[in-house]
């Protein structure tokens, strides 16, 4: 890995971890498309899953008293159905196609999040979003949007939103890693890169906690949408280079 690629990798993790802690989601959505500029897509997915598990687990534990356990159980049961589908996509779809799918899915997520077009909360919507999040978690490590839609549809307050969604992230991430390990897709380079990125992850998380108290929620979400747009476009461009 060149010096420029190393800087790109670390900056993507710093930006993604800051965003994740500030608004409660966005780590994989930002980190994976940006990391593909420095490392192969499959390696980026594994690195994001490893680091995302760390930051999500901490946030889930930190806000555990406010988490909606009923929603967590429902979303995770549904996610278990989608996880095997995502593993199949991850292991069989070509690299450039994965990049393109990733970029398009991120841009679609931006449009849906920006317009706020979500249905009224229901058990059926929770199940559909949970299953889709499971498939995205194990294929592209970008399972945030379906979960955001489900929680927004129920008008979940931020103090409940953050620990609830991060608990699902943590469990899905752990199961995804197990799947990657069983299929032999966790290479030593990914583990090494994830390990020496931990200090940057911690720095970004610290910045995120500071910003959480100073940045208004509406402003934070606008920033996230702008960053996601850039990340999605970069993934699409990388797929055709």
pLDDT at 198: 95
Is residue 172 within 8 Å of residue 76, measured between CB atoms? yes
pTM, two decimals, is 0.79
Reduced to 3 states (helix: H, G, I; strand: E, B; else coil), residue 232 is helix
pLDDT at 10: 93
217: pLDDT strictly greater than 70: no
φ/ψ of 72, rounded to 5, equals -60, -45
- Write the DSSP symbol of residue 120: P
pLDDT at 224: 67
pLDDT digits (tens, 9 = 90+) for 146-202: 887 788 778 788 788 889 999 999 999 999 899 888 888 888 889 999 999 999 999
Confidence of residue 118 (pLDDT cuts 50, 70, 90): low
Copy the structure tokens of residue 77: 């049961």
Confidence of residue 241 (pLDDT cuts 50, 70, 90): low
Query: Residue ranges per domain, the chain?
Result: 3-239
pLDDT at 54: 92
pLDDT at 221: 67
pLDDT at 220: 66
2: pLDDT strictly greater than 90: no
- Rounded to 5°, angle at Cα 241 from 136 and 231: 45
Cα(first)–Cα(last) distance of the chain, in Å?
A: 18
Rounded Cα distance, 109 and 86, in Å: 18
């Amino acid at each position: 890995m060149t010096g420029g690629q190393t800087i790109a990798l670390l900056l993507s993790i710093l930006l993604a971890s800051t965003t994740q802690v500030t608004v409660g989601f966005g780590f994989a959505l930002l980190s994976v498309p940006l990391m593909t500029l420095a490392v192969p897509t499959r390696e980026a997915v594994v690195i994001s899953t490893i680091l995302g598990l760390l930051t999500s687990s901490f946030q889930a534990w930190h806000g555990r008293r406010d988490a909606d356990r009923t929603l967590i159980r429902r979303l995770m049961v549904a996610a278990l159905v989608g996880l095997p589908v995502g593993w199949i996509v991850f292991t069989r779809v070509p690299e450039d196609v994965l990049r393109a799918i990733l970029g398009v899915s991120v841009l679609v997520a931006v449009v849906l999040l920006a317009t706020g077009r979500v249905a009224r909360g229901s058990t059926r919507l929770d199940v559909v979003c949970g299953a889709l999040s499971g498939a995205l978690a194990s294929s592209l490590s970008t399972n945030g949007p379906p979960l955001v839609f489900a929680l927004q549809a129920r008008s979940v307050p931020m103090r409940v939103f953050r620990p609830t969604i991060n608990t699902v992230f943590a469990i899905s991430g752990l199961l995804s890693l197990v799947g990657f390990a069983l299929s032999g897709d966790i290479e030593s380079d990914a583990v090494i890169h994830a390990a020496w990125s931990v200090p940057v992850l911690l720095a970004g998380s610290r910045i995120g906690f500071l910003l959480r108290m100073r940045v208004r929620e509406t402003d934070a979400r606008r920033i996230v949408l702008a960053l996601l747009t850039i990340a999605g476009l970069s993934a699409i461009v990388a797929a055709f280079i």
